[in-house]
């Protein structure tokens, strides 16, 4: 027979509480069980309040028995609480686990914001494709050049007035004014010719796209960092007609047949004769505007027959070989094809502009 205090059978009370503690399936449910069996309104607390009518001896015995019940149930509750808390932590961990193999259903998936190539890169790729289609190879060269490659090997000696055509950024490397950010892609011609001579791989039919740098003040059709695509053909029996034909083919492929163009005599120290290639300004259709400085024409590039002095400088036999070269602005081509009134828009990184192309 168990101990009874007042009307409360303590063994039965502990048994019922134990069963409820074990049945509690969450820490919240366990809190409720604890309140029911040990809280202020529990039967245990109610019995305690009747102690006033007991003798001192009875009080001591009953008090000790109730204390025993309390500590038994406290122990059971905290044991159960630990087990439940551990299980809940595990559940949370499981829920938080990142499943890298998970396939998110299409209707839940957020659309990917996929970037795309900048218009200048697209234009470069498109121009390369046109030339590859004509049998040219694509070559690359350094953006930092020595004075020799950027100027001297191209028949532009130190005091030559033509140096003024290219406002140069000099680097503080080596002797003063000997290392430059290339002002045009023409020095890549020199690298290719040297390689072809060294490896005995003439003829050359190549284009060389890349970045160029000049101390130009940016305006509607100039940037300080821009892009050119250089072309070089060195072979036997090459004439100016071949040059004109190549320019005609590539500009028609890029701009379409409706574009009107002209070749104007010009001067470059490394070509003779030399010309500038111009097209009708696409912004004003030739009427004259701010972009073309009211001329109605936009220069896309320079070209000419490779000067025999340049062939001599790299050791190519000018009595056997001849060639032509050209250098066109890639940014300028894109500007005219997409009728961009101010070239600076290409590099200002305004997404509303860039995303149109
Ligand atoms: C040259 O750079 C010569 N190397 C071209 C050449 C190559 C002539 C081979 C003969 C044989 P020019 O400085 O004119 O030439 O530049 C050629 C083209 O590059 C220009 O017509 C223009 O389209 C582009 N360009 C030049 N400077 C800038 C600039 N600051 N910003 C944007 N485009 C430019």
Model pLDDT for residues 207-237, shown as the tens digit of each residue: 999 999 999 899 999 999 999 999 999 999 9
Q: Which positions ≥6 away from 168 have C-beta within 8 Å?
A: 150, 180, 181, 183, 214, 215
Alpha-carbon gap, residue 54 to 62, rounded angstroms: 9
Q: For residue 3, name the pLDDT band (cuts at 50, 70, 90).
A: confident
pLDDT at 98 (0 to 100): 85
pLDDT at 13 (0 to 100): 94
The beta strands (E) that lie in 87-238 are given as 137-138, 144-146, 179-181, 204-213, 225-235
The mean predicted confidence, pLDDT, of the chain is 93
- What tens digit of pLDDT does each residue of 141-173 get? 999 999 999 999 999 988 777 777 778 999 999
pLDDT at 274 (0 to 100): 98
pLDDT at 213 (0 to 100): 97
Determine the distance separating the centroid of ligand 1 and the alpha carbon of 334, expressed in angstroms.
14
**For range 259-288, the mean pLDDT:** 95
- pLDDT higher than threshold 90 for residue 272: yes
Nearest by Cα to 205 from 192, 187, 191, 186: 192
Q: Is residue 227 within 6 Å of ligand 1 at its C-beta?
A: no
Q: Is residue 269 within 6 Å of ligand 1 at its C-beta?
A: no
3-state secondary structure of 301: strand
pLDDT at 112 (0 to 100): 79
- What tens digit of pLDDT does each residue of 289-312 get? 999 999 999 999 999 999 999 999
Q: For residue 1, name the pLDDT band (cuts at 50, 70, 90).
A: very low
Determine the distance separating the centroid of ligand 1 and the alpha carbon of 224, expressed in angstroms.
12
Q: Is residue 194 within 6 Å of ligand 1 at its C-beta?
A: no
Higher pLDDT, 223 or 57: 223
pLDDT at 235 (0 to 100): 98
Instruction: Output the six-digit token pair for 249.
Output: 């083919």
Euclidean distance between the first and final Cα of the chain, in Å?
92
Q: Which residue's alpha carbon is at the smallest distance from atom 22 of ligand 1?
A: 329
Q: Is residue 186 within 6 Å of ligand 1 at its C-beta?
A: yes
H helix runs in the chain, sequence order: 10-23, 27-38, 43-49, 56-96, 119-133, 147-150, 186-199, 240-255, 308-314, 330-337, 351-354
Q: Which of 323, 329, 334, 344 to mutate to test the pocket of ligand 1 (most atoms within 8 A of CB)?
A: 329
* pTM for this prediction: 0.72
pLDDT at 134 (0 to 100): 96
- pLDDT higher than threshold 80 for residue 25: yes
């Amino acid at each position: 027979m168990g101990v009874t205090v007042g009307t409360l059978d303590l063994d039965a009370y502990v048994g019922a509480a134990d069963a409820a503690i074990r049945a509690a399936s969450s820490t919240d449910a366990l809190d409720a069980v604890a309140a029911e069996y040990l809280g202020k309104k529990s039967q245990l607390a109610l019995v305690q309040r009747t102690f006033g009518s007991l003798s001192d001896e009875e009080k001591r015995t009953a008090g000790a028995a109730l204390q025993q019940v309390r500590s038994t149930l406290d122990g059971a509750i905290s044991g159960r609480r630990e087990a439940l808390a551990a299980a809940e932590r595990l559940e949370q961990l499981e829920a938080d686990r990142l499943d890298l193999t998970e396939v998110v259903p299409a209707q839940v998936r957020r659309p990917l914001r996929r970037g795309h190539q900048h218009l200048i890169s697209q234009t470069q790729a498109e121009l390369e494709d046109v030339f590859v289609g004509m049998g040219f190879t694509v070559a690359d060269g350094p953006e930092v050049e020595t004075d020799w490659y950027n100027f001297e090997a191209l028949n532009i000696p130190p005091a030559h007035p033509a140096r003024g055509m290219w406002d140069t950024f000099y680097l503080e490397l080596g002797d003063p004014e000997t290392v430059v950010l290339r002002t045009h892609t023409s020095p890549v011609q020199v690298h290719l010719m040297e390689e072809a001579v060294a490896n005995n791989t003439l003829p050359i039919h190549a284009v060389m796209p890349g970045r160029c740098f000049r101390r130009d003040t940016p305006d509607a059709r100039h940037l300080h960092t821009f892009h050119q695509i250089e072309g070089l053909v060195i072979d036997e029996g090459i004439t100016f007609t071949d040059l004109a034909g190549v320019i005609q083919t590539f500009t028609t492929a890029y701009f379409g047949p409706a574009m009107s163009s002209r070749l104007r005599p010009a001067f470059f120290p490394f070509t003779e004769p030399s010309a500038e290639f111009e097209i009708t300004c696409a912004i004003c259709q030739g009427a004259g505007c701010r972009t073309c400085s009211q001329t109605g024409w936009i220069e896309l590039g320079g070209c000419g027959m490779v000067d025999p002095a340049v062939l001599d400088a790299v050791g190519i036999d000018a009595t056997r070989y001849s060639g032509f070269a050209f250098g066109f602005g890639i940014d300028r081509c894109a500007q005219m094809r997409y009728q961009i009134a101010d070239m600076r828009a290409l590099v200002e990184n305004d997404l509303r502009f860039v995303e149109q192309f």
